Chains A and B, each alone.
Chain A
Amino acid sequence: MSLRPDLAVIARHVAPNTRVLDVGCGEGELMAELQASRQVDARGLELDPVAVERCVARGLSAVQGNADRDLADYPDKAFDYAILSQTLQTARRPDVLLDELLRIGASTFVSFPNFAYWRNRLALLWRGRMPVTRNLPVSWYETENIHHLTVGDFDELLARLQVTTERRWFFANDREIAPAGANWRAEHAVYLLRR
């Protein structure tokens, strides 16, 4: 089974035999991998009832709910890791969501598409249009991404929220790249955070 590169990097860095909450777990690809290869006790939260049904049908634990609203129900530090992959930019209040994740998880993985990736910049600069790319395939009027952000924006938010960055990974063309110039060069980013 081949996971998306950001999920693969998360899967490799979750310690075995831990408790994980995957927020926006989709059909449970990451949870299944974590359970199978790292004996992790994985739980998911997912908005789409059909995706939740698929999770349950494959024997995973997933709760249908809304990350903006339902994370409040989870106790402090209930999990070793909270994971939010490619979902931050869809949150109503990404800063509040990040706060919640850091409260629930001892550590938190966040992955997001970097809007300042050079192809996006070119689309705006040359064509004057919101970019539609392989990673941002949906037009501005129907995308779920309501809070586009860049690597630079995220670093600023982390500083303001006094969050410690344990580690960062950057990707372009599905390959990990060096962090130098990531705000230009990275298509998406994965952060491991702690407070």
Chain B
Amino acid sequence: MATPRPLPTTSLQLPDPLPLDSGQVLDGVTMAYETYGTLASDRRNAILVPHALTGDQHLASEHPITGKPGWWVRMVGPGKPIDTDRFFVICANVIGSCMGSSGPAALDSDGRPWAMRFPVITIRDMVRAQVALLDVLGIERLHAVVGGSMGGMQTLSLAANFPDRADRVLAIATTARHSAQNIAFHEVGRQAIMADPNWQAGDYYGTGAAPDKGLSVARMAAHITYLSEAGLTGKFGRRFQDRPDGTAGGRSFGFDADFQVESYLRHQGLAFTDRFDANSYLYITRAMDYFDLAEEHGGRLADAFAGTRARFCVVSFDTDWLYPTSESRSLVQALNAAAAPVSFVELSAPYGHDSFLLDVPALDRVVKGFLE
């Protein structure tokens, strides 16, 4: 994604400058968002769904670039667990991203792309922007905030920093802080992008060359962390990829994609560069690495939720080694210590971290029940 392009989506400009954790202030923030369902006259049926690292606002509608169905279409829609016949569902592109909201690929007031002049942001900054969007939309109190992965971090951050804004908080496959291992994987991705000569210190917009190789490697490394070992083995094992002429593959004694898993990862990496901006990847992974909800609240996670009146539900998956169940348990422990009403369940699913996006009927039942 070398050049910013106009995308079909709803967007608006936030009326006030956005103060950031870095101390900087972002003026004229654009928020691109999609809504599904109808806002009730009392404005009490709104559900905010913050998206994950490479997600976007196209939650339950076709992606304008890939043409694929929305990323959570199995969860959100008429009659679905997040039922758009009952709820008004809002999904906004996070700031720092590249699907229409303010980010490094968007234009600064001087008409040039922000690139690396865009301020480094945090998860809390993303949430501030979403809350400002809710203000503009006239939604004072959410029926629920629901998010998986980085969406779960925003969900928790909203509950901690804006405790009066949501009645229910549902955090799926997530963590209250990024671990050393999480940061390490992200650093591999960032280094891959910055090592690509096409990165050009971030100023690649309009040059006809973008760091697609680097971004693709970053995506490949990250993609492994989203799957389980058993899932990879089940899907690919050590099977060889058929040759382009259709004959059965095998060892080429070279460095083509002999194995199906190699071919799959290369495809994932390449396809990603069509829809995502490399600088956005740097900014968003950095925001995730900075995330530590306890640190924001004096070092004690329970204090992040002191005095909350929301109901919480935390869900983990037994094959998720990126944000393992132990992380969810510490979160639940903190919520218990804060005397918050909390439910927690570890669901069994074979797909690793990505389970929250995939066919796990038990998750559907939990989400539906919790939103009642």
Q: Residues on A close to B: CB < 8 A?
A: 41, 43, 49-50, 52-53, 55-65, 70, 73-75, 78
CA of A134 to CA of B362 in the docked complex: distance in angstroms?
A: 32
Distance A26 CA – B350 CA, assembled complex (angstroms): 25
Nearest chain A CB to B360 CB, angstrom units: 11
Q: Chain A residues near B347: list those with CB within 8 A.
A: 49, 53
Residue B54 interfacial (CB < 8 Å): no
Q: How many residues of B contact A (CB 8 A)?
A: 23
In the assembled complex, the Cα of A105 lies from the Cα of B332 at a distance in Å of 19
A59 and B345 in contact (CB under 8 A), knowing A73-B336, A73-B337?
A: no
User: Which A residues are in CB contact (< 8 Å) with B40?
Assistant: none
CB–CB B341/A61 < 8 A: yes
Using CB atoms, name the residue of chain A closest to B340: A61
- Are A56 and B313 closer than 8 Å at their CB atoms? yes
- Is the beta-carbon distance between A49 and B365 smaller than 8 angstroms? no
Question: Beta-carbon contacts of B162-201 to A below 8 Å, as 1s and 0s?
Answer: 0000000000000000000000000000000000000000
Q: Which residue, of A43, A53, A55, A60, has the highest number of chain B Cβ atoms within 10 A?
A: A53
A75 nearest in chain B by CB position: B337
Task: Tell me if A55 and B343 are in contact (CB < 8 A).
Answer: yes
A64 touches B333 (CB 8 A): no
B368 at the interface (CB under 8 A from A): yes
Q: Which residues of A contact B368 (CB under 8 A)?
A: 57
Question: How far apart are the CA atoms of A74 and B366 in the complex, in Å?
Answer: 24
> How far does the Cβ of B128 sit from chain A's closest Cβ, in whole Å?
29
Structural contact, A73 and B333, CB atoms closer than 8 A: yes
- Chain A residue numbers with a CB within 8 Å of B372 are 59
B348 pairs with A49, CB closer than 8 A: yes
Q: Mark B334-368, 1 if CB is under 8 A from A, else 0.
A: 00110101111111100000000000001001101
Q: Are B348 and A63 in contact (CB under 8 A)?
A: no
- Bound Cα distance from A65 to B369, whole angstroms: 20
Say yes or no: B339 contacts A52, CB within 8 Å.
no
Known: A65-B344, A73-B336. 6 other contacts (CB 8 A): A49-B348, A52-B343, A52-B345, A60-B343, A62-B343, A75-B336
A56 touches B341 (CB 8 A): no
CB pair B311–A78 under 8 Å, yes or no, is no
11 CB < 8 A contacts A-B:
A49-B345, A49-B346, A49-B362, A50-B362, A52-B343, A56-B366, A61-B342, A62-B343, A63-B343, A73-B336, A74-B336
Shortest CB distance B263–A (Å)? 36
Closest 8 A-B residue pairs measured CB to CB? A57-B369, A73-B333, A63-B344, A52-B345, A61-B341, A64-B345, A56-B343, A61-B343
B259 at the interface (CB under 8 A from A): no
Q: A123 → chain B, closest Cβ, in Å?
A: 38
Per-residue 0/1 for B305-336: is the Cβ within 8 Å of any A Cβ (1 yes, 0 no)? 00000010100000000000000010011001
Instruction: State in angstroms the CA–CA spacing of A59 and B312 once bound together.
Output: 11
Contacts of A53 in B (CB 8 A): 345, 347, 362, 365-366, 369
Q: Is B290 an interface residue when CB atoms closer than 8 A count as contact?
A: no
Is B370 an interface residue, CB under 8 A from the partner? yes
Q: How far is the CB of A56 from chain B (nearest CB, A)?
A: 5
Query: With the chains together, A43 CA to B335 CA distance in Å?
Result: 12
- Given the complex, which residues of B lie within 8 Å of A58, measured CB to CB? 369
Check A56–B369 contact: CB distance below 8 A.
yes
Q: Whole-angstrom distance between the alpha carbons of A70 and B342 in the complex?
A: 14
Residues of B within 8 A of A61 (CB): 311, 341-343
A155 to chain B, nearest CB (A): 32
Nearest chain A CB to B318 CB, angstrom units:
9
Q: Check A57–B366 contact: CB distance below 8 A.
A: yes
Q: Quick one: closest A residue to B372, CB to CB?
A: A59
Of A52, A62, A78, the contact of B336 (CB 8 Å cutoff): A78
B369, A63: Cβ atoms under 8 Å?
no
Q: Which residue of B lies closest to A74 (CB)?
A: B336
A43→B347 CA distance, assembly (Å): 19
A40 to chain B, nearest CB (A): 12
In the bound complex, CA of A75 to CA of B337 (Å):
6
